[in-house]
Amino acid sequence: MNQVQLHSKPQKSKTHINGVENLIRQMLKKQRAPFMIIRRCVLERQYRRFRKCLPEVTPYYAIKANPHPSIVKTFVKLGANFDVASAAEMKQVIRLGASPGKVIFANTIKTEADIITARRRRVRLMTFDNEPELYKIAKQYPKAHVLVRIKVANEGSVIELSLKFGADPEHAFFLLKKAKALGLKPMGVSFHVGSQSTNVENYLQAIEISAGIFKEAKKSGMPLKILDIGGGFPIQHFDNEIGINFERMASQIRHQMKALFDRNVKFMAEPGRFLVGPAGILVTQVIGRTFRNNKNYYYLNEGIYGAFSGMVFDHCKYEFKTLRRGQKFLSALAGPTCDSFDTLAMNEEVPELYVGDVVYVKNIGAYSTASATMGFNGFPPAKIVMV
């Protein structure tokens, strides 16, 4: 199959930009920067967008992207399911209203204590990718429902997840048979093409490989019922970014699933960034400035150890915007800590800024505050404010 070129949507209108900046100005009257605005309407829009483009696929929100209680509650109200990776995440989503039947324990390596918690909380569906894990599950949670996670191509993804997880596809059927022999219920196959994946071919190949496993299982009298296509669905981080078109990607994925699977197979996915990323706007302010290395150098009150942590852990790049207008100059942006590593950009084009001026970033709702260090150097991460 040939890789399909995916094109970006048109540039955001000035009306949209003014709307975002008006919101920031309103929030600054009530909140001290830094803070993260999470727009509930965007969470709802992204959820409905996913359901519209992939109607056969049940989305399980991967709360690691952003576990803020108000975000989880919003998705509970929308009827979403949830992907958790630990007992703590499991307890959180259930406490906030999620039904245990709408939760998947999607970590292929689990502690025995967490498996026991899953049993006690009646979270039956979970993933695995190796034989020793099956023995743990069988011992602590007899009759649990399991999906074998396979290793698939992650080409073109910002974060490659098959380096750490996934059984070789040729071993998948053996592992499913082993699960059945141990008294577990083999339900199907899962995969993950990597995070922020712009290469639709990864999905198409993984679906084809999974279909082969389903056929092998059916021939052996062990029909499977669930295909979990994971997460990794991309979003735009820059207004003029090229290569992101979820609608076109979803159409190809949907076509592949229909072509290769029976109607009785249930499909699920684990979107995180796609659902919550576009909802976030990080608002920071300049707390200091100097001129060094022949450029303006601005210090912000949020940095790498806070809500910009995604620049390290998620390899994410952001578009820095300002409320101030005027001629732009090559500048550097840095965070507030006493660590030179806490540098955000060395060659950013921004207007001349002064202490108190606002620098903001859109599309930063995922893998930002969630992975921030709590209080390094005495600076707490940005507060999340739902609107």
- pLDDT tens profile 28-82: 999 999 999 999 999 999 999 999 999 999 999 999 999 999 999 999 999 999 9
- The reply to whether 253 and 376 lie within a common domain is no
pLDDT on residue 75: 98
* Short-list 10, 38, 23, CA closest to 281: 38
Residue at which a domain ends, from 221, 256, 277: 277
Determine the structural domain holding residue 95 and report its residue range.
40-277
Q: Is residue 28 part of a domain?
A: no
pLDDT class for 2, splitting at 50, 70, 90?
A: very low
Query: Which domain CATH number covers 227?
Result: 3.20.20.10
Q: Is residue 309 part of a domain?
A: yes
- The reply to whether 168 and 203 lie within a common domain is yes
Give the whole-number percent of the chain exceeding pLDDT 70.
93
Residue at which a domain ends, from 251, 277, 303: 277
- The reply to whether 266 and 343 lie within a common domain is no
- The reply to whether 161 and 298 lie within a common domain is no
Range 82-94 average pLDDT: 98
- The reply to whether 255 and 294 lie within a common domain is no
- The reply to whether 197 and 344 lie within a common domain is no
- The reply to whether 216 and 319 lie within a common domain is no
- The reply to whether 311 and 224 lie within a common domain is no
- The reply to whether 247 and 382 lie within a common domain is no
Beta strands in 96-247 (DSSP E): 103-105, 125-128, 145-149, 157-159, 185-190, 195-197, 226-228
Q: How many structural domains compose the chain?
A: 2
pLDDT in tens, 297-350: 999 999 999 999 999 988 899 999 999 999 999 999 999 999 999 999 999 999
- The reply to whether 80 and 193 lie within a common domain is yes
Enzyme catalytic residues: 338
* Short-list 312, 324, 313, 314, CA closest to 349: 324
Range 174-200 average pLDDT: 94
Q: Is residue 44 part of a domain?
A: yes
pLDDT averaged over the chain? 92
pLDDT class for 1, splitting at 50, 70, 90?
A: very low
CA–CA separation, 219 and 211 (whole Å)? 12
- The reply to whether 207 and 113 lie within a common domain is yes
Q: Is the pLDDT of residue 13 over 90?
A: no
Range 6-28 average pLDDT: 71
- The reply to whether 271 and 329 lie within a common domain is no
